[in-house]
Structure 1
Amino acid sequence: MTETLISLISILVGIIGAISAGFVFKKYSFGIVGNTIAGVFGSIFLIKFFGRLGFNPQSIVQNGTFNTSLFLINCIVSSLGGVFGLIVLKLIYNKLNK
């Protein structure tokens, strides 16, 4: 896998995390489109923020080998980023509408 494909998979996992969190927690949902946008930005932000610890796409395919454990950590953090992005976006939305 290349670094670009890993990045795209991470964004897709973040979108899935945000959409599933929207289905589970109805009060945080913005609909499919809103949850997708929150998942993209939340996923990218958290991967960029915590990716410096060594599970960014460059570290996953370092030296031409694929590190599965780093990829799984990347997917978990990306999914959590989508969920946190959705929650933070809803908190900002509520704060601005008061």
Structure 2
Amino acid sequence: MTGTLISLISIFIGILAANLMGYFKHKYSFGFTGNTLVGVFGSIFLVKGFGRLGFDPWSIMDSGHFHSSLFILNCIMSALGGALGLVVIKLIYNKMNT
């Protein structure tokens, strides 16, 4: 795997997590398109923000070796980013509409 492929997988996991969160928790849903957008940006922001701790895509592929534990941590953080992004954006949306 390359760093770019790992980044795309992370984004896809963030999209999946945000859409699943919106499906199971209807009060946080923005519809499929809104959940997808929030999932993309939520996973990117969380992985970019905390990726400096050592689980960014290029650290996972350090000198040609694949570190599976870092990849799993990256996937978990992407899923959290998508789900938490949806909650945060819904809270902001509700604050702006009251």
> Match for residue 66 of structure 2?
66
> TM-score if structure 2 supplies the norm length?
0.98
Q: Which runs of 5+ in 1 are unaligned?
A: none
- Offset, 1:65: 0.7
SS of 1:66's partner is coil
| Alpha-carbon distance between aligned partners in 2 of 1:59 and 1:11, rounded to the nearest angstrom | 17
Q: Which amino acid aligns with 1:94?
A: N
SS of 1:7's partner is helix
Q: CA RMSD in A?
A: 0.5
Q: Which runs of 5+ in 2 are unaligned?
A: none
> TM-score if structure 1 supplies the norm length?
0.98
> Match for residue 19 of structure 1?
19
SS of 2:17's partner is helix
> Match for residue 44 of structure 2?
44
| Alpha-carbon distance between aligned partners in 1 of 2:57 and 2:41, rounded to the nearest angstrom | 17
| Alpha-carbon distance between aligned partners in 2 of 1:67 and 1:48, rounded to the nearest angstrom | 18
The question of 1:75 aligning with 2:45 is answered no
How many residues align? The count is 98
| Alpha-carbon distance between aligned partners in 1 of 2:79 and 2:85, rounded to the nearest angstrom | 10
After superposition, the C-alpha distances for 1:54-95 in whole angstroms (9 at most, x for unaligned) are 000010000101111100000000000000110011011101
| Alpha-carbon distance between aligned partners in 1 of 2:70 and 2:24, rounded to the nearest angstrom | 27
| Alpha-carbon distance between aligned partners in 1 of 2:92 and 2:5, rounded to the nearest angstrom | 31
SS of 2:55's partner is coil
Among all aligned residue pairs of Structure 1 and Structure 2, give the percentage whose two residues are the same amino acid: 63
| Alpha-carbon distance between aligned partners in 2 of 1:64 and 1:29, rounded to the nearest angstrom | 40
| Alpha-carbon distance between aligned partners in 1 of 2:3 and 2:63, rounded to the nearest angstrom | 12
